Every structure is written in structure tokens, then in C-alpha cells.
Amino acid sequence: MLFGRKHKNPITIATKPVDKWVYATCGYCSTGCSMEVGVDQTGKAVTTRGVADADVNRGKLCLKGIFEFEVFRSANRGTAPLIRERTFEHFQTTSWETALDKTASEIKRIQQKYGRDSFAIISTGQIYTEEFYTLGKLVRGIIGTNNYDGNTTLCMASAVSGYKRSFGSDGPPGCYDDFEQTDCLLAIGSNLPEQHPIIYWRMKDAIDRRKFPLIVVDPRVTMLAQMANIHLPVTPGTDLVLLNALAHVILKEGLEDRAYINAHTTGFEAFSQLVAQYDPVTASKICGIDEDTIRNVARLYAKAQSAMTIWTMGINQSTHGSDGVVAINNLNLITGNIGKPGGTSLSITGQCNAMGTREFSSCSGLPGYRLLEKEEDRAFISRYWEMEESFFPEKRGLFQTDIFPAIESGQIKGLWLIGTNPMTSMQQTARIKKTMEKLEFVVVQDVYTDVESTKYAHAFFPAAMWAEKEGCFTNTERRVNLVRKVVEPPGEAKSDLWIFSQMAKRFEAGRKIKFPQTNAEAFEEIREISRGRLCDYSGLTYEKIEARRGIQWPCNEANPNGVSRLYQDGRFQHPDGKARLIALPFIDNNEWPDEQYPFWLNTGRVVEHWHTRTKTGKIGNLNKFSPTPYMEINPAAAERLNIKPMEYVRVVSRRSMAIVLAQLTQRVAPNAVFIPMHYYDCVNRLALGLLDPYSRQPAYKQCAVNIQKVENQEAAAIANLQARTY
Ligand code: SF4
């Protein structure tokens, strides 16, 4: 195929010798694009293509999906179990038998010596729902530690918490089709073109055809903000003030949907009294958005036939992330914008299967959105798993972000990391390093041997990745989709489910435990235990999912093709069936810029990388676009500090410092800088270290920093290169 002008530098894309196409779902973000992986006659994956009749992506893929076939052959795959007596010694290759026996005996030793909860387990958003379910059964039903969580606490916990507080359950109520139906779209702290490019394309396509207003709330002039009708460059950390002020105007001007409020909510009195204090004049002094714009946006939103809000980490990763989500839900409840076409609160989820872990991993409770705190839920699952109900704790244990302080304090002595890399993803990297050194036993289960956390491991389990096995992911709009097996895992790498089932055998101790041996068996258990629940899978089969290119739960006899929107009848999951309007006072615990640290630091993502670059850092066609950490700084600020484009600068916070390249751009305000979150030992060194009180999600998004020019540019370049060579 030829591109370019006829006689000038044509680009040739080689024809790929595809023998067969295998159905899959993208393993990066939660957009959930359907794709097919092309396999040649030797069984090698050689290309990918979007599936044209899949409603999610309609044939399209973003850059990461296009090159996803390369992940199978990426560098430093784990191909054999590894073991060592002490960290930092050389690993020895060993058999699965030895690695599993050693790990099981260390878990038992630690639990016997220090108590059942002294061994912690942290998982991921990357494995299949069947594997999450099986892991939950192993942890809750067999090993029996309560200190078990997923790394989704770093990403979506505030959305989960906010949905539970407002609606009585987790579960995003809307869908992508809402873009086609809405009359007004509010996007808060969400840069779709870089984070979720195909959702962006769905949204942009709908705007181009129907011209509804797009309002973007973001301190930075992101790609999404550049195409907005109204951009609100809110002062970092004050989104709650803005949302309360919007509600204030709506109530003051009588623009609310009083019939919906009366029929489907409780808490209106306290809520209306609270937002009465957030008049636009007062609010504008805190959130930095002028009073007329606040009034204008509130009127636009409330008068639209239907209006929807989307958000991502700009809301979630904050000391009041859960309150921010509830405030969005408040806005949609008072305007009657829940469960109707184009009217919704839609959190844009992170990892490809962050939803699967929320539904069935048992991290925050028991599978199928059941709670450890509810006697009937404990009784149901213990009967189904054929175990003693008293084995379950009666409330959930520590979140991931509390597990590390518990290691510091000596409460936790052992750790199993599954597809997660806290050395890069947690706040305050230096502190996490010291914490990891304190553990008596660490096992890392990952597809790559070079994830930074492996440095602290005593055992390494090589896991099969993505389409080296078969199973389901759930996307942002509750759509369960399928990945078929495309290639064999390398060497001795095994599926996560195989590893969990082998570990379960080592804990049987005379008990007969019914444990799934395949993902298909686990899927059958999920179907059975989810029957009648909000996340009902009982009507799903692998064949049906593939044929329909994904189906949105609940899917059952009554709704054999799934359900697009939750709460269409106005009945919520709280015991009285009503949603909660919750009064949310703004508590200012921001670290504001001052003379010593005069810049706001904001963090975010770039389109070519995925989270901690574990995968995308190894794909040449992705990594080449941003191989090294950089910072966006306003040209006026750069001039004041005598910083030239692409010079190294030192970014210093009250916690630590990082060296990055400077990129001059008007996208950031003169008193702000932006650094992508993907790089090891970089932006997370600087972060606040504070958590949301409800979700325990970290406040990665904003803090105060100082910027200093680095005098010895050459030394900085060499140090940077050494730190980032894979
Ligand atoms: Fe994959 Fe997300 Fe890109 Fe779709 S938008 S191809 S799911 S990374």
C-alpha cells in the first residue's frame, strides 16, 4: 500500500502473511476495543485489526492496539520460575513444583508466626475476570488473609466509592451510546484523546453530527480542552467547589427536576442547605472560574434535554476524589440525568479489566458486588464454596495504600504481587523501596522479569499474558468481551488461573476444595453466583459474547442481550430503592504553591504509553515517541528561569526531586507544570502521599513544586539514560 504524494517519499507498509484471524479484546485500556489478531502459518502473531461490526470501536484501534501483536515477543518475558534465598542475590531458575512449594510454605510460616492477615496480596486490573474470581476464592476461601486488594485502588477506587455512596452499588450507569443521545457533555479531569482515544472518537463523531456543547473542566489546556465550547481552567483541587456552585445556581434558579428528586432521592434538605453557601461569587474566588461562567454552565447543563458527565483521574486521584464523584452524581440526580439516554454519570475506567476486579475479585468484599459486612452475603458464598462461613472476616481489610504503611509498621511480613508494580505506581518511591526491603518474603507474579518490584522478590512466577490464554474483560460501559487464545505462552510461563489452582492444592490440608481448573469452569461459577445480582452474568456464554462483540451486564433471561443503562426505572441499590443526595463541604487540604514551591504540579498520560510502561516501554513504535520523562512548562516561566527547550531541569517538592526534560508549551499556565505519570522513579517521588478518606485512593494529581535549571546538562543526560535503559 502506498501513501504520500505520488513521487515523494512514499511509505510502504509490508503486506502481512496472515493465515487466520483470532478474535480478541484489547488488553490495554478500558475502552474495550474488539480486535482480531492475525497469525501466520508458523503460528506467529503478525498484525492486529479492529473489528468492523463491534459497537465499541467500529473497526478502529488506537496506536497501542495497532501494535499490540508485538507484546508477545517483547523483551524480558519471564520463561521459568525463579527463586533465591535473599533479595539482591542472583535468582536461580527452578521448577514450578519448587517455586510453588517454597511460596506456599513461606505463606504458611508467616501466617502461623504472625497471624493470618500478616501476609498481603495485591493484584491488578489486567488479568481475566475468571482469574480474578479464582484468585478471590483462593485468598478469601483458602489462604484466608484479609489484607488483599487490587491496584485499581490507585485508579478507580474513588469512582467505586462515589457510586456506592450515591446509588448503593458500584457499576457505571451509562454507556458510549449516551454520546449519541446527549444534549450537553461535561468532561471533568479527563483528557480522552490521549487516555481513551477510541471513546474520544465516538464522542467527537457524535459532536460533529449533532453539535451539542462540550464543556471541559481541566487546569491544563488538554487536547480535549482545545476542542471544547467552554473550557474551565479550574484551580487544581477545587472541583468540589465548582460542582457545588453549579448545583447552587440550578436550585436558586429553579432549574432542578423536582419530580425526579422527590420520587427517587433522599437527602435533599441537607444538600440544598449546603450548596446554598456556594454562591458563584464566593466559589469563583476559590475555584478560579468567574461567576458568569459558572452561571452559564449551570444553566446550559440543567436546561439540556439530557446531559451527561464523564470524568477520569482528575477527579479520582485526589484527597477528596470520592466526594468529587458524589458531587457529579448529585448534579445528575437534581437534573434527572441518570438512567436516561444521554443523561448519566459515566466514570471512564482505567485498565482493560479494572471493572472485572470490581465485580468478581472479592478484593473489597465477596464476588458479585457482595459485602463481607453482610451476613447473608457471607452465608451465600460460604455455602457455594462449601466452606465454613466463620472463615470469612466480617469487614474488608486494608486497601493497597494502607498495606504499605502496615509493612512499615511490621504488621505485614509477606507480600504476593500479581501483575502490579508498586515500585513505579505508588506515591513516594523512595519510601516504597525501604518498605519492600522490610518484607520477609515477596513473590512477584508477572509476565516480565524486569518489573522494578522483582528486585525485592524471593520468588518469581512467570505468567502468561493477554491472548496467550482465553477469558473475559469488562469495559467502561459494563460490556463483557472475550479474548480467545492466539499464541502459546513462552517457555514455562503459565496462566494466572493455573498458578492459583496449583497454589490452592498446597493449602487443602485434608479439606476438599472445589476449585476451577480452567477459565471456562470459573466462568460457569460466575454465571451461577451472579444470577439475580446487579452484575448478572447468567445469560452470558463465550459464544454469545463473541458473536455480539461484547454484551453489557446485567445479562439474564429477562435481558438476553444485556442492558445499556442502569437505573432506568429510578430504583437504586440502597435498601429503600432511592439514591442519596449528599451534602459535601469543601475541606481545603491542598498543598498550594508558595514562595518556596511556586508551581502547581499536575500529572497525566500520553497516548503512546500505558500506565508504568511495563509493556509500551518495550514496543519500539510506541516508546520512540516519549522514551524519557519530560515536563511541560509555560514559555514565560521558562524564560524567567532561563530554561531552554529540551534542557534538563530539576523538579523539587517537599518530598523529593526528579530530573526531566523541559518542553515549552502554552498548554500549561505560567504557574503550573505537567509531567506524564508513566516513568519509573519520576513524578511519584514528588507526590503528596495523602489519601482520600473514603476510597483510600492517592492524591497523585496536584502538589507544589520548585523548578531549577540543571547546570551540568551532560551528566543529567547520562544519568537519565542509565536509569531508563531496559
Ligand atoms: Fe486498546 Fe484502548 Fe486503544 Fe482501544 S482505545 S485500541 S482499548 S488502548
Are residues 456 and 87 in contact, defined by beta-carbon separation less than 8 angstroms?
Answer: yes
Burial class (CB in 10 A: 0-12, 13-18, 19+), 299: middle
Arithmetic mean of pLDDT, 104-112: 98
Identity (one letter) of the amino acid at 489? P
> Residue 441 in 3-state DSSP?
strand
Residues with CB under 6 A from ligand 1: 26, 28-29, 31-33, 57, 61-62, 64-65, 196-198
- Burial class, 450, CB count within 10 angstroms (exposed 0-12 / middle 13-18 / buried 19+): middle
Q: Within 541-594, where are the H helices? A: 542-548
For residue 309 the three cell numbers come to: 458527565
Q: Which of 33, 49, 70, 176 to mutate to test the pocket of ligand 1 (most atoms within 8 A of CB)?
A: 33
Residue 724 has pLDDT above 60, yes or no: no
User: Per-residue pLDDT tens for 208-223?
Assistant: 999 999 999 999 999 9
User: Hey, is 216 helix, strand or coil?
Assistant: strand
Give pLDDT tens digits for 218-276.
Answer: 999 999 999 999 999 999 999 999 999 999 999 999 999 999 999 999 999 999 999 99
The 10s digit of each residue's pLDDT in 681-706 is 788 889 888 999 999 988 888 899 99
3-state secondary structure 601-637: EEEECCCCCCCCCCCHHHCHHHHCCCCCCEEEECHHH
Closest atom of ligand 1 to 27 CA is 1
Sign of CA dihedral 60, 63, 67, 69: negative
Confidence of residue 7 (pLDDT cuts 50, 70, 90): low
Distance, in Å, from the CA atom of 675 to the CA atom of 720, rounded to the nearest integer, reads 15
Name the amino acid, one letter, at 620: G
The residues, any chain, with a CB within 8 Å of residue 517's CB and separated by 6 or more, are 501
Q: What is the pLDDT of residue 685?
A: 86
Q: How far apart are CA 89 and CA 98, in angstroms?
A: 18
Relative to the CA of 198, which ligand 1 atom is closest? Answer: 5
Distance CA 139, CA 415 (A): 12
Residue 577: the pLDDT is: 98
Distance between CA atoms of 315 and 297, rounded to whole angstroms?
18
CA of 63 to the centre of ligand 1 (A): 8
| Interval between CA 4 and ligand 1 midpoint (Å) | 26
Which of the 8 DSSP states describes residue 15? P
pLDDT in tens, 17-72: 899 999 999 999 999 999 999 999 999 999 999 999 999 999 999 999 999 999 99
Which cell goes with 427? 506515591
Instruction: Give the three-state DSSP class for 8.
Output: coil
Calpha distance 647→660 (Å, rounded): 8
Using 50, 70 and 90 to split pLDDT, how confident is the model at 11?
Answer: low
Residues 499, 501, 502, 504, CA torsion sign: positive
Cα of 475 vs centre of ligand 1, distance in Å, is 11
**Domain residues of the chain, as ranges?**
20-73, 82-153+353-472+484-518, 157-348, 599-723
CA–CA distance from 50 to each of 33, 312, 381 (Å)?
7, 25, 39
pLDDT of 362-419, one tens digit each?
998 999 999 999 999 999 999 999 999 999 999 999 999 999 999 999 999 999 999 9
Residue 57 alpha carbon, nearest atom of ligand 1: 4
Fold that domain 157-348 belongs to in CATH = Dimethylsulfoxide Reductase; domain 2 (3.40.228)
**Identical fold, 20-73 and 82-153+353-472+484-518:** no
pLDDT in tens, 591-609: 999 999 999 999 888 888 8
pLDDT value, residue 4: 52
- Cα of 68 to ligand 1 centre, how many Å? 10
Grid cell at residue 595: 514562595
| Confidence at residue 152, expressed as pLDDT on a 0 to 100 scale | 83
pLDDT recorded at residue 726: 42
User: 27 CA to middle of ligand 1, Å?
Assistant: 8
Dihedral angle at the C-alpha atoms of 660, 666, 670, 671, nearest 10 degrees? -60
Q: What's the gap in Å between 713 CA and the centre of ligand 1?
A: 37
The Å distance, Cα 172 to ligand 1 centre, comes to: 19
Calculate how far, in angstroms, residue 32's C-alpha sits from the geometric centre of ligand 1.
Answer: 6
Integer angstrom CA distances of residue 143 from 113, 147, 233, 392 = 15, 11, 49, 11
The CATH number, out of the four listed (3.40.50.720, 3.30.830.10, 3.30.565.10, 3.30.200.210), of the domain defined by the range 20-73: 3.30.200.210
Nearest CA to ligand 1 atom 2: 29
pLDDT surpassing 80 at residue 510: no
* Closest atom of ligand 1 relative to the 29 alpha carbon: 2
Ligand 1 atom having least distance to the Cα of 475: 7
Please provide the size of the chain in residues: 726
Give the closest residue (by CA) to ligand 1 atom 4.
33
Strand order in the sheet with 551-552: 471-474, 479-483, 551-552
Ligand 1 nearest-atom number relative to CA 610: 8
CA triple 316-322-326, angle to 5 deg: 115
The residue whose CB lies within 8 Å of the most ligand 1 atoms, and thus the one to mutate among 34, 64, 482, is: 64
Nearest-atom number in ligand 1 for the CA of 32 is 7
Residue to mutate, 30, 31, 199, 481, ligand 1, most ligand atoms under 8 Å from C-beta: 31
3-state DSSP of 639-704: HHCCCCCCCEEEEECCCCEEEEEEEECCCCCCCEEEEECCCCCCHHHHCCCCECCCCCCECCCEEE
Among 198, 355, 621, name the best residue to mutate to test ligand 1's pocket (greatest count of ligand atoms within 8 A of Cβ): 198
- If one counts every other C-beta atom within 10 angstroms of the C-beta of residue 408, the result is 14
Closest ligand 1 atom, CA of 66? 6
State which fold the 82-153+353-472+484-518 domain adopts.
Rossmann fold (3.40.50)
Distance 170 CA to ligand 1 centre (A): 23
Q: How confident is the model at residue 725 (pLDDT cuts 50, 70, 90)?
A: very low
Flag the least confident range among 156-165, 207-216, 312-321, 588-597.
312-321
Tell me what percent of the residues of the chain surpass a pLDDT of 70.
97
> What is the per-residue pLDDT for 619?
84
pLDDT in tens, 512-556: 778 999 999 999 999 999 999 999 999 999 999 999 999 999 999
pLDDT at 618 over 90: no
Of 25, 29, 34, the one to substitute when testing ligand 1's pocket (max ligand atoms within 8 A of C-beta) is: 29
For the chain, give the mean pLDDT: 93
Ligand 1 mean position to 269 CA, how many Å?
43
From the alpha carbon of 196, which atom of ligand 1 is closest?
5
What pTM, to 2 d.p., does this model score? Answer: 0.94
Choose among 4, 3, 35: nearest CA to 22.
Answer: 35
Q: Which pLDDT score, from 0 to 100, does residue 1 have?
A: 46
Rounded Cα distance between 652 and 4, Å, is: 45
Residue type present at position 172: P
Q: Are 323 and 317 in contact (CB under 8 A)?
A: no
40 three-state secondary structure: coil
For residue 630, the cross-strand partners are: 661
d(CA 293, CA 600): 23
Question: Do 214 and 232 touch, CB atoms closer than 8 A?
Answer: no
C-alpha of residue 470 to centroid of ligand 1, in Å: 19
Residue of 56, 61, 191, 608 to test ligand 1 pocket, by largest number of atoms within 8 Å of CB: 61
Going from the C-alpha of 68 to that of each of 61, 543, 650, 664, the distances in angstroms are: 10, 24, 34, 31
Q: Are strands 579-580 and 265-266 parallel, antiparallel or unpaired?
A: parallel
Closest by CA position to 242, among listed 336, 343, 324: 324
Complete DSSP assignment for 110-135: HHHHH-GGGEEEEE-SSS-HHHHHHH
CB contact at 8 A, 572 and 345: no
User: Residue 670: is its pLDDT beyond 50?
Assistant: yes
What pLDDT sits at residue 217? 97
pLDDT of residue 514: 80
User: What is the topology classification, in CATH, of domain 599-723?
Assistant: Barwin-like endoglucanases (2.40.40)
d(CA 264, CA 578): 5
> Residue 686 and residue 655: Cα distance in Å, rounded?
6
Q: Which of 108-112, 466-470, 504-508 has the lowest mean pLDDT?
A: 504-508
Q: Is residue 147 a contact partner of residue 406, using CB atoms and an 8 Å limit?
A: yes
* Protein residue with its CA nearest to atom 3 in ligand 1: 62
Task: Identify the sign of the CA torsion 608, 610, 612, 614.
Answer: negative
- Helix then strand then coil, % of the chain, to nearest 5: 35, 20, 45
CA-to-CA distance for 304 and 448, rounded, in angstroms?
A: 49
Residue 57 Cα, ligand 1 centroid: separation in angstroms? 9
| DSSP E strand boundaries for 252-367 | 265-266, 308-311, 344-347
Q: What is the rounded CA–CA span in Å between residue 316 and residue 159?
A: 6
CA of 87 to the centre of ligand 1 (A): 37
Which residues is 49 bridged to in the sheet? 36
**327 or 157, which is more confident:** 327
Alpha helix positions (H), 255-393: 258-264, 268-275, 280-287, 291-303, 313-316, 321-334, 354-360, 375-384
Please tell me the predicted confidence (pLDDT) of residue 353: 94
C-alpha 483 – ligand 1 centre gap (Å) = 14
Q: Are 677 and 609 in contact (CB under 8 A)?
A: no
User: In 342-478, which ranges are E strands?
Assistant: 344-347, 414-418, 441-446, 459-462, 471-474
Cα of 149 to ligand 1 centre, how many Å? 25
